[in-house]
Amino acid sequence: MRDQEKLNRFGARLRHLRLAQGLTQEALAAEAGLEFSQIGRIERGIINTSLSTVFVLADTLQVDVRELFDFASSPSAPQP
């Protein structure tokens, strides 16, 4: 898959922001109207999610969409 490292870093950033707000994957999914398993796949870098989903996640987390791409602000995802 193209850009796997970036997908992993995006997922790690999403996880960091979710945990900072004390949300479980299930709670974030419910608030965002997404499948719970989709959050896990995004966080693990398994799927390349759509831009519309990125906007939904940013809105749900009440962050600017740019914060999801601020990879310098959270640790890298573990390598598979």
**pLDDT surpasses 60 at 1:** no
Q: Which residue segments constitute the domains of the chain, with CATH numbers given?
A: 4-66 (1.10.260.40)
Structure tokens at 9: 């870093």
pTM of the model: 0.88
C-alpha dist (Å) from residue 9 to 30, 31, 33, 42, 71: 23, 23, 23, 10, 6
Structure tokens at 26: 């299930």
Q: What is the pLDDT of residue 76?
A: 55
Cα separation of 29 and 49, whole Å? 14
Query: Tens of pLDDT along 24-54?
Result: 999 999 999 999 999 999 999 999 999 999 9
Average pLDDT over residues 18-22: 97
